[in-house]
A and B are shown apart, each in its own frame.
Chain A
């Protein structure tokens, strides 16, 4: 068992720096929140060293969330791709994505710390739904901040959260999307920190969140590595995941980062194409800055003002990225490339028709990227994290593909 929050050779130091002091990560936060972040750090380290906590976490993951997810040999897609594609089926987890792993870990930690309320930010609504689910299961009050634009395009997820007993607060400041939902959740937290835990939705934000979130999602990579060895007797040649904030990706990559023979690919949202400026390819096209408490790649203008990101996938529509990814990119250990909206939607359709699996549009970016990698690596094995299922995206698919009229073959 790896130590808590480990990215193998890419661990944070005591101040939360990845890739050397001052490089990536850190903690750029109001002093009012520092005591809470220190308290969280201490409680988390203690919990991860306590077999009772880790045992309860493992039990919940298994009995409640259907983890470990299966590793599936996608033979029909592979035939199409010209390389062997293995899918890590995180889409089959309870609530439909990898995110349940993170929220169960953080919600259990909240109980352990004696806090009674959780807050969360959400973009597409997946982290909000997962947070509301864990809060319902563990008897915690839950408030979810969601950009007003997102509450409109993801109304179904708003309803799911409400049915689960959470309060959903539409955020009307700034660009009214995920980054503003994070701002508003931080503002809530400054005023409520005594009784409230902030369930951060991705492996980003101030120290210790990137390492803490990784400790709860790294099962993705650890399981996938072992499943590969058990089922196929060898490691894959490459692994691939989509990267918004980057929690599903870092969870997968952590399992392989110390296997130098395994290539690592992260696929960012290329939106309308990086050249149009309407994208969310933070590492590929951004610059180093500080956003939401960490130094990392950011989409920003010349004055350091955050630039709005664009993606057909709400879950990747974020102008920052987790600092571990920035460090892996800077070290050359992982390669980050953009996938456009159109490529992702093609991959969504292809996976549906070849395998009978409808992926989340986020995860379709990883599938599209893997198809590209397959061209460079014919006959090799590429493991893709299918981080979520596409049910939530049917509205977008309906509009994009012009579906929904029976009797008309598309």
Chain B
């Protein structure tokens, strides 16, 4: 093969041998594929900043800029932030005065409900996972399987008993109710996820701490927990995304004061008898993306970091 350069190599593709950074060809290919995956999101963001009248124009407008004349004028729209304003305040009737829509409250609800239920599940689930990992019960796997079964049924199957139970104990429409429900749903996932992280840790380290005089509680907090920070971060992000996007339970169990964004979004775009307001919908979606994006962005270092670093030579 020496001396001969294949077409792929000439184009910047590297041979699959050796370890190192990818060549330009591969990088470009990866970028194009990533861009295709990102396109729907980009389209939503662009729709959110389109004036209402061009949102559904045919042919569609594609870009807020002409990219130095690269894109013909007919595909370029003039960006506007107006849609974001109307998320929070707009006229509800034709020609009526602008009124507050309550979306500030719904965003607040989503943030409070999602983060508190995920955190609660993380606290309970991590303790439970450590228990399952280090102090196994007889038939440990059976318990874990039963816990997992709570996630096996589609939400729609359990929704009726849940509604009846919530009504009976007066939890419908309350923060406590929906937070408890989401916590319960996140728990199964959290326990399984965290147990696998704890299982990976070296038991010798914990034994050493016991011999050095540490109580089991101190072993957990001082030795085990710092080693699974990456796991906590990953579990938190996954749980947050699931909870943040949840629609069905929120639709049926939240009240006017505890409504979350996905539910409110559904109602906002279909109310007023004017058909679907696509730019408004896109604006809400864009705003809805931001919190999860930020959390994931700031935790990404933890998500990527190895679980144990340098304790045990394997």
Are the chains A and B members of one assembly? no
